[in-house]
Amino acid sequence: MYKIFTKSSILLLTSFIMSMTQFPLFAQGQAQVDIWELMKRRDLRLSEIDAIANEHFNRIGKVRGTGYKQFERWKYEKQFHLDNNGFILPDDYDANQYNLFNGLGPSPSALSGAWTELGPFNWTRTTSWNPGVGRITAISVYPLNNNIIYVTSPGGGIWKSLSGGNQWVPLNDQNNAMMDLFSVAVDPTNQLIVFTGSSAGNLFRSLDGGTSWTTQNTGMGNVRKILFDPTNSQVIYAVGSGIFKSTNGGSSWTKVLTANIEDIEFQPGNTSILYASGSDVYRSGNAGIGWTQIGVANGITTSARVILGVSPADPQTVYAIQANGSEFGRLYRSTDGGNNYVTTITGSPGTCTNFFGYESSGCGTGGQAWYDMAITVNPLNANEVHIAGIIGWKSTNGGISFSPETEWSLPNTVGYNHADIHALEWVGSVIYSGSDGGIYKSIDNGNNWTDLSNSLGIRQFYRIASSKTDAALVTGGAQDNGSGILKTSGWIDYLGADGMDCLVSPINSSLIWGTSQYGSLYRTSNGGSSYSGISEPATGNWVTPLAIESNTNTIYAGWNGVYKSTDLGVSWENLSVGTINSNLSVLAVAPSNAAYIYASNNANLYVTKNGGTSWSTIPMTVSITSIAIHPTNPDKIWITSSSTINRVLVSTNAGTSFTNISGNLPSIAARSIVVDNTADEGIYAAMNLGVYYLNKNTTSWTNLSDNLPLVAVNEVELQIASGKLRVGTYGRGLWERDVLSTCGIPIRLNTTNIS
């Protein structure tokens, strides 16, 4: 049989082949770095990036430490940020569309009522193996008053403490451009002057201690570090897609080196000498005007990710720690002010020196050195070096040998600091650590660590679920920090890894299901005091959908089809054999008739009205992100999509045809939708930014976002008994507000039919 290629398919194939040649697949030693660079590409469609990545991971494997998990996490989020041709939209697109919505149309602002933040603000472990609050990327402590601390989060924005980390406040929840941050620095002589940098290449400045901010520069790449000259705070350096220098307090900037840079340090006591690193090491002897690359002749033997450490105790000593793919590569030491280096230790699992792996013995393989890596040196003893990746290590002999000072999981006998450490800062006698679980400190040279994350509301929820019988109980699964449960007594953490979709029994609030990556399923029957693993019949998507009947414990899961269990997950029946053979992204069961099941793999809608005996497959022109079913009419459904045009659609005939009711919604992706049980048929739609309300008596959507932080809302849920609307955000935790009960003029719909 011959296959006929259309002109469009040939062009797409040509584009893919060209992309493959433009992005060669390197050897395994550099694979993680290459994947990280691939994720920065904007000249390829997301589908093309995914194809290149899949070929790469099929070749090197998808096990822990290969970067596969990080890629899947990135890909999952980017699906909500695509134009109609499948290319990733600019970073400021959503914010611009949201601002446009707020300036146009009837009733753009919220009705009466406000959101209450529910946290979590700390963690309380029951059986979780890696609990934490959320991701921290950078720490800056004011040197003249160590009670003043700033931290940044990639999703939670920038936070400030005036109490040494005992209490935190967010500084800019209403500026979406400042919610994905990777660096922060406070002026060493003026606590009111603060700079922070974003992954989108923007640099922000505050002159009032973080109350207000202005954009000082754009196009810097991911701003990984900001450095003040300690002798003249008008001189500032920022690094990203190069080294940028300001001599007027940040009002203007000059690019002094073009290279991908993520670390920069002064020689202690001499601000004319600087060291910088990215995949190579650089030195400047004239205050950053000119730079010399330090190469093989100077002792830096390979090119790979490097970060730096210095100590005032010996200004001539410089440490450069280097990755080898995902693992620990080398530690270099210079004793002549960064001109020449010697290797003090070379990493190898065979010699138990893979300090970036998961094992505190150093004997394991793998790691995430392209993602998490940090170093700091004792300011009073240049021979005491602390490094970190997944766990933390300490050397007292100038980097010749290391011993573990933390473990990444609980319980352990070494000490706990959450996995994936991105920042180590030594200020005075205190070491601060920033990781995927929060901020920690040690006051005894790393022997013991204290969690300072209390009140940091930066959890990145993928999914939430409310109890039907206990109005206070909510469970949620979050990136890096597993699955937790909110009760009247507070939060508990009972599962580790990345927490994903979850369920609460409608008849027993102590019976809860949770998942981790790819649909690994767990169950607790005692409200999270303990859990048991469930053998799943297949591997699913990064976020594998779950559903439950409205008044029974019969559960459903969407691995590579629709599966049903009537015994709490002990055994499963595949209801969609012969119809569905791909991993599902959305799954819903009608509350009034469980024989109606709706599922989607993004591109297709699958419908059964007889419990799976037969299915209809409805091709869609949009990528479905969620499905809500009318509480009493199983044929009426609402869907959301990642389309910037057809954001919300309704069908009254079980998906046979749809009407676009997006109306005045901002032109951004919608992620989740629920419908209330009132005669008004009120619907709540959660989007990349904001939550919006419409009912059959109103003519336009109302923005309910008032004091809700401007971050992505991954799921919206109703708790009927208490009259609460709850949302799980991707970076600012769980929030709730009262539901609406309104009436008005008959609804006026956009009647565009897309089926």
Query: What is the distance of C-alpha 727 from the center of its chain?
Result: 17
Give the C-alpha separation, 512 to 213, whole Å. 43
Closest among 528, 563, 523, 557 to 543, alpha carbons compared: 557
pLDDT for residue 64: 79
pLDDT in tens, 254-295: 999 999 999 999 999 999 999 999 999 999 999 999 999 999
- How do beta strands 482-487 and 474-478 pair? antiparallel
Closest among 197, 173, 200 to 690, alpha carbons compared: 173
CB neighbours of residue 97 within 10 Å? 19
Task: Report the range of poorest mean pLDDT among 15-19, 229-233, 527-531, 721-725.
Answer: 15-19
Peptide linkage before 24 cis (omega within 30 of 0)? no
Residue 9, pLDDT above cutoff 80: no
Position 95, amino acid: A
Mean pLDDT of 615-630: 97
pLDDT in tens, 687-739: 999 999 999 999 899 999 989 999 999 999 999 999 999 999 999 999 999 99
User: Burial level of 7, CB count in 10 A (0-12/13-18/19+)?
Assistant: exposed
State whether residue 453 is helix, strand or coil: coil
| Sheet order of strands, 385-388 included | 374-377, 385-388, 392-395, 403-404
Give the C-alpha separation, 438 to 493, whole Å. 15
Residue 30, pLDDT above cutoff 50: no
Run of H or E residues at 97: helix 93-102
pLDDT top residue among 83 and 748: 83
pLDDT in tens, 557-570: 999 999 999 999 99
Tokens matching residue 350: 């065979």
Q: How far is CA 458 from CA 4, 136, 173, 257, in A?
A: 51, 9, 11, 34
Closest among 288, 295, 250, 252 to 270, alpha carbons compared: 288
pLDDT for residue 445: 97
- b/e per residue, 192-207, with b = 16+ CB within 10 A? ebbbbbbbbbbbbbbb
DSSP per-residue codes, 704-733 = --TTS-SS-EEEEEEETTTTEEEEEEBSS-
Residue 334, pLDDT above cutoff 60: yes
Looking at the chain, the whole-number percentage of residues with pLDDT higher than 70 is 92
State whether residue 355 is helix, strand or coil: coil
Tokens matching residue 402: 């290391």
pLDDT for residue 336: 98
Residue 33, pLDDT above cutoff 50: no
pLDDT top residue among 366 and 512: 512
CA contacts within 13 A on the Cβ side of 155:
28
Query: What is the distance of C-alpha 741 from the center of its chain?
Result: 34
Closest among 564, 570, 562, 610 to 587, alpha carbons compared: 562
pLDDT top residue among 600 and 2: 600
**Over the chain, what is the mean pLDDT?**
91
728-729-735-740 Cα dihedral, nearest 10 degrees: -80
The pLDDT confidence band at residue 67, using thresholds 50, 70 and 90, is confident
Give the C-alpha separation, 713 to 733, whole Å. 10
CB neighbours of residue 121 within 10 Å? 19
pLDDT for residue 113: 55
Query: What is the distance of C-alpha 721 from the center of its chain?
Result: 32
Any alpha helices (H) in 630-730, and if so which ranges? none
Position 84, amino acid: N
Peptide linkage before 120 cis (omega within 30 of 0)? yes
Dihedral sign computed on CA atoms, order 42, 47, 49, 50: positive
Q: How far is CA 742 from CA 43, 81, 664, 683, in A?
A: 46, 32, 19, 12
Residue 1, pLDDT above cutoff 80: no
Please list the residues that pair with 724 across neighbouring strands.
719, 738
Tokens matching residue 45: 């469609």
pLDDT in tens, 651-699: 999 999 999 999 999 999 999 999 999 999 999 999 999 999 999 999 8
Residue 110, pLDDT above cutoff 70: no
Closest among 357, 495, 416 to 64, alpha carbons compared: 357
pLDDT for residue 741: 66
Dihedral sign computed on CA atoms, order 445, 450, 454, 457: positive
